[in-house]
Amino acid sequence: MIDSEFHIIMEYADCGSLDYYLHDEKSRLKNMTYLALHNLMFQCAQAVKYLHNQNPIVLHRDLKPNNLLLFDDYRTLKICDFGTVREIASKMTSSVGTPAYIAPEVLEGKIYTEKCDVYSFGIILWEVMSRKKPFHHLENRNALAINNLSTRGERPKLDAIKDYKNKKTIQCLVEQCWNQNPNRRPTMQMLSLFFSFDYFAMKPLPRTSKEDYQYRTNN
């Protein structure tokens, strides 16, 4: 407290946000190797896994590149903006978050779980590996248009992912994370383990079936 007023002192993110790192014209001059991007996503998976391992489970509910801050010459990633964080409850239906990153079950007002964060992680992974904004191809990229696409099972184009050596593996992982059926999405524990492997040793994951995208819960 200073001069009878409360002040919040926060850590300074000297490298800005992941959004800036990916999309600002000046930042594109930086060397974005696959290994560097892979390491950032591993740290993100670890951080979200920590939230999901709490008892009760804690959901972030607004994961997006703007809420992922970078430090230490772009080598360290930390999650910020915990204003939407909640402990999981038996019936969570309130819609919060940012349109392009919100899971379809949240948009539809259905009961949702920690798998909503996994969906957001999948969108972020696609964005990191493609360096494009989700649904960037839309002529009118507004919240309503994006929400309509998401609830219908439409997703950003997998072919936009850069031609890394394990492109197919990343595409399969992204598909699993943003599966329309939340029960078919991996856990953050699984994702954390996946990103802990040497990236040259990764093996392709089984592709999700067409039926998974047609899933609709009865809740």
Which residues are tagged catalytic? 62
CB 37 within 8 A of CB 195: no
How would you class 202 by CB atoms within 10 Å of its CB: exposed for 0-12, middle for 13-18, buried for 19 or more? middle
Cα–Cα distance between 162 and 85 in angstroms, integer? Answer: 32
Report how many helices (DSSP H) and strands (DSSP E) the chain contains, helices first: 7, 4
Burial-class residue 156 by CB neighbours within 10 Å (0-12, 13-18, 19+): buried
